[in-house]
Structure 1
Amino acid sequence: MNKLKSLSVVAIAAAAVFMGPAAANASIEYPGEADVIVVGTPGPGETVVVDIEAGAFIAGEDVSFAVTGATAVTLAAAGQQTTTLVKTADADGGASVDVTLPADATGTYNISATGLESGQVESAALTVVAADAGAGAGAGAGSGSGSGDSADDLAYTGAGDATMLLVWAGAGALLLGGALVVVMTTVRRQRANS
């Protein structure tokens, strides 16, 4: 009878180890990769809209926008010269920001948006051609990824689903191995005392 109770306790403990994390993660929704669209011509003194499509971030999460380039830019809603701004993603997980380039803007400006809860990173690069260089217009293009593969992206430090599965499987195997040692020791002692 004692043996049956011990095995039942071990089975319940094993079930709790493997089923607990699955239940805890069941309601978490992770954002996916989305496109970054630059609306407008990135020229000196011009304003462009950097629009990140729906699904890039968790709905309602704070998104940190950062702009790096040769000179400071103005981000909408900041009201002053700045290079960072935090806005809230909309209900669909999209976000946008108006970027006003300075009158003396030249070169490339890198724009990144990072979901502060999800860690999702989306980025775009604006190439500005000086107004007196002839054409006076530049091109903007962007792409998004949550992996941080490129040197220009912010690092993605989250663990993927496969990694977490391996961690939990290893922890469960370790727990079951420890329980097996305890059960076998108890059985051996009982047999020795009989």
Structure 2
Amino acid sequence: MKKLIAAAVLAGAAFIAIPTAANAAGYAPDSSVSVSGNYVAGGTAFVSFTDGAFQNGETVNVQVTGAGAVTLGALPTTTVSKAYTASPTGALVVKVTFPAGASGTYNLTATGATSGVVGLASFTVAPGDTAVTVGSNGNSGTPGQLAFTGGTISTLGLWAAGGAIVLGGGLLVVRKSVRRQHDAA
């Protein structure tokens, strides 16, 4: 019984601690990310991170995922990863070329190797016969939106659930102790 209670308490503690660790990651503010270009099959988009988005001269690992192969620099594949170096001011520009048959959503994630800062951009690529040109800041009318990376349960709710688990474990221990005392008497 003690092992079961200990396992429940540890599971509850881990359940509560995980969102705190996830919230610790730094994200580039949406005002420091701008996207421009043609979001069509065969088109090219440019993702620009302003000065100070990353550390000066930092290595930035960029990954693009999507419905089809993209070209990041000269590497075409469905998930592309490539290391870039931020400018001496911490700025970075990434050129993304969409494949000829592209359509759907593509996501770009740029992660600073030293700072851990994460910059996000999302593209919705129109089929090749549709022309969509995006201005300096946004994705078809949704400027600077970051991807939703959290859960729908609040941290307070997680703490309450963890407290309920600990309280329930404590009640089980007290009940077992009272039962032993009653049986011994």
For the criterion TM > 0.5, the same-fold answer is yes
Hey, what does 2:132 align to over in structure 1?
137
Partner secondary structure for residue 72 of structure 1: strand
Could you tell me which runs of 5 or more consecutive residues in structure 2 were left unpaired when the two chains were aligned: 1-25, 151-185
Q: How far apart in 2 are the matches of 1:42 and 1:144?
A: 16
Larger Rg: 1
Question: By how many angstroms is 1:144 displaced?
Answer: 7.8
CA contact (8 A) 1:36 1:52 kept: yes
Question: By how many angstroms is 1:35 displaced?
Answer: 2.1
Partner secondary structure for residue 39 of structure 2: coil
Given the alignment, which residue of 70, 77, 81 partners 2:76? 81
Hey, what does 2:58 align to over in structure 1?
61
Hey, what does 2:99 align to over in structure 1?
102
Q: How far apart in 2 are the matches of 1:123 and 1:73?
A: 16
How many percent identity over aligned positions? 39
Hey, what does 1:150 align to over in structure 2?
148
Could you tell me which runs of 5 or more consecutive residues in structure 1 were left unpaired when the two chains were aligned: 1-29, 153-194
Partner secondary structure for residue 99 of structure 2: coil
- Residue 92, structure 1, aligned to residue 89, structure 2: yes
Task: Give deviations 1:112-147, integer Å, cap 9, x for gaps.
Answer: 100010000010111111123xx33265536487xx
Q: How far apart in 1 are the matches of 2:120 and 2:70?
A: 16
CA contact (8 A) 1:127 1:138 kept: no
Hey, what does 1:26 align to over in structure 2?
none
Q: TM-score, normalised by structure 1?
A: 0.53
> Where is the strand percentage greater, Structure 1 or Structure 2?
2
Q: What is the number of residues matched between the two proteins? A: 116
Hey, what does 2:41 align to over in structure 1?
44
Amino acid at match of 2:131: G
Question: By how many angstroms is 1:32 displaced?
Answer: 6.1
CA contact (8 A) 2:37 2:133 kept: no
CA contact (8 A) 2:41 2:102 kept: yes
Q: Which has the higher contact order (CA 8 A, sep 6+)?
A: 2
CA contact (8 A) 2:102 2:128 kept: no
Hey, what does 1:72 align to over in structure 2?
69
Q: How far apart in 2 are the matches of 1:124 and 1:52?
A: 10
